[in-house]
């Protein structure tokens, strides 16, 4: 296990640590998105895909990575891995 949970997202800034943490979370989540509960290998549900996303709100390479480590922006605590689209949807529509 790469991390002790709960852990701050800022503690995993090293790319190798992010990669191993992402893989560990995918495994413990059984390959499903923390937010929508759909397989990470596929797409989020239509209810998320149908809402427009303002891609200018996100860093240039944000959507280059299909699976993101999601964290609460207020507490900085890691919550799980999510589809990139789910991550963008949560940030844009809920501020989380």
What CATH number did the domain enclosing 35 receive?
A: 3.40.1800.10
Measured in whole angstroms, the distance separating CA 25 from the mean position of its chain's CA atoms is 10
Span 63-90, average pLDDT: 94
Q: What is the largest CA-CA distance in the chain?
A: 36
For residue 83, give the H/E element and its range. Answer: strand 78-83
Domain count, the chain: 1
Boundaries of domain holding 81:
10-41+62-94
> Using CA atoms, how far apart are residues 34 and 75, in angstroms rounded to an integer?
17
- Read off the pTM: 0.89
* Assigned domain for 27 exists: yes
Q: Say what the pLDDT of residue 88 is.
A: 96
Question: pLDDT at residue 2 above 70?
Answer: no
pLDDT tens sequence across 19-73:
999 999 999 999 999 999 999 999 999 999 999 999 999 999 999 999 999 998 8
């Amino acid at each position: 296990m790469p991390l002790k949970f709960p852990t701050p997202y800022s503690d995993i800034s090293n790319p190798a640590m992010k990669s191993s943490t992402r893989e560990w979370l995918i495994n413990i989540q059984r390959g499903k998105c923390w937010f929508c509960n759909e397989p990470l290998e596929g797409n989020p549900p239509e209810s998320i895909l149908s809402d427009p996303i303002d891609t200018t709100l996100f860093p240039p390479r944000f959507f280059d990575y299909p699976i993101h480590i999601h964290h609460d922006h207020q507490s900085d605590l890691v919550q799980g891995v999510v589809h990139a689209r789910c991550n963008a949807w949560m940030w844009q529509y809920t501020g989380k």
